Amino acid sequence: MSELNPADGDRARELDKLILHSWSKHGTTNPFTVARASGVRLWDHDGREYLDFSSQLVNTNIGHSHPKVVAAIQAQAAELATVAPATTNLRRGEAAERILSKIDGMAAVFFTNGGADAVENAIRMARVHTGRAKVLTHYRSYHGNTGAAVNATGDQRRIGNEFATGHVHFFGPFPYRSEFWSTSPEQEAERALQHARRMVESEGPSTIAAIMVEGLPGTAGILVPPPGYLQGLRELADEHGIVLILDEVMAGFGRTGHWFAHQHDGVRPDLVTFAKGVNSGYVPVGGVIISEPILATFTERAIPGGLTYAGHPLAAASIVAAIDAMTDEGIVENAARLGRDILGPGLRDLAEKHEIIGEVRGRGCFWALDLVTDRASRTPVDASVVGKLKGLLLERGYVPFTADNRIHVTPPLVMGDDDARRGLEILDEAFTAYA
């Protein structure tokens, strides 16, 4: 491994001017420069070490440079680096087998290149299966940046991208900022479900192909579904012959302490989208997990779609190695324990100490600190506050994930107790310095 060289950092920043970054005006970003990573740590070209509490885009579940996954990719590249998707390939089949072993009652996998096109294809499958067009999704949601996926997205990034048709949005449950004037999680679930029912009735049940929600909404704020909500959507979908799609791109593969977030709620999906968590993003990959009834539709007729790199052998090898390592090393169980014993209690202790933290919510290694100007009004802080806190965290060697008025605490699932506690200490230091 080559030595870290500060000159390489200067060159990286100069060359970065050639790149138009996502969701930004050209020339306005100053990205954090990363030279090397291992486990839960990152290094810049100057050799400075950071704890990764972002998991990048909440995807390095197994940590950085896990040796078993790296070795599997290297071995696959030497054996068969690429092959057409219409071929039969052992590694691709093994990847599907590993995925299906972690979810009950599902029959097959359709591979894609990432999460957005997993969502695209799930929507397509639902429309073909039902012969209907409309898709209902939450306003507080993010489903990707391709045509149908960005229209299915509820947050403001869809505005200016609304070129696909057939998308209808409704409000999901969020007790802390309720749209339904609820006073308890149970009441929030009941009223949110009544709202969903009225949306279905008003749009016309016979026109609706799918209801699609995240198993646990991530980018929108790590909004843990109140008890009964997902089950209620399942019942509503069954009543009207609507496909229930659960988007597990961010929350899936151990992030919440279960293999899939919806498993906390015991709900049965028709389609599940997945991507980055399945192999910690080491190679781009995604897919749709398909139930038997929908697979039967595509036994009778060809699916109208496909991708050049679907089931790419390097991606497939990384999936097999990642799922095997997560199983053998108890990584999902570690995520559940970290959330229960260290992150959850520690973050709630921070909220007791710092008035700026209005609410702590999450599961496993998937948490959000909702930051407010005052707790009585629950008014969100503005972007400048979050930007300042982000800078204070980076100065202290902590890489954060931030969104809107929140700091998301989303470390790799392999994080040890001492590093988790150190991250909590750094958060405390940053909030103290800000105050």
Q: Please report the pLDDT score of residue 3 as a whole number.
A: 85
Strand blocks (E) in 292-393: 357-363, 366-371
pLDDT at 31 over 80: no
Domains of the chain, residue spans: 6-65+330-434, 67-328
Two tokens, residue 40: 């839960």
Q: Please report the pLDDT score of residue 1 as a whole number.
A: 61
Task: Indicate if 67-328 has the same CATH topology as 6-65+330-434.
Answer: no
Domain 6-65+330-434, CATH homologous superfamily name and number: Aspartate Aminotransferase, domain 1 (3.90.1150.10)
Two tokens, residue 112: 């894609």
Is the distance from CB of 101 to CB of 264 less than 8 angstroms?
no
Nearest Cα to Cα of residue 199 among 158, 253, 237: 237
**Angle made by CA atoms 157, 132, 109, in degrees to the nearest 5:** 75
Q: How far apart are alpha carbons 171 and 254 in whole angstroms?
A: 26
| Dihedral in degrees, nearest 10, Cα atoms 280, 286, 290, 295 | -150
pLDDT at 8 over 70: yes
Confidence tier at 27 by pLDDT (50, 70, 90) = confident
Two tokens, residue 371: 């930051």
| Mean local confidence (pLDDT), 14-24 | 87
Q: How far apart are alpha carbons 410 and 362 in whole angstroms?
A: 10
pTM for this structure?
Answer: 0.96
What is the CATH T-level fold of the domain 67-328, as seen in this structure?
A: Aspartate Aminotransferase; domain 2 (3.40.640)
Least confident span in 5-9, 103-107, 415-419: 5-9
Distances (CA, A) of 152 to 135, 167, 173: 7, 6, 17
| Class of residue 159 by CB neighbours under 10 A (exposed 0-12, middle 13-18, buried 19+) | exposed
Is the distance from CB of 163 to CB of 246 less than 8 angstroms?
no
Which tens digits make up the pLDDT trace of 188-241? Answer: 999 999 999 999 999 999 999 999 999 999 999 999 999 999 999 999 999 999
Which tens digits make up the pLDDT trace of 57-90? Answer: 999 999 999 999 999 999 999 999 999 999 999 9
**Angle made by CA atoms 235, 240, 246, in degrees to the nearest 5:** 55
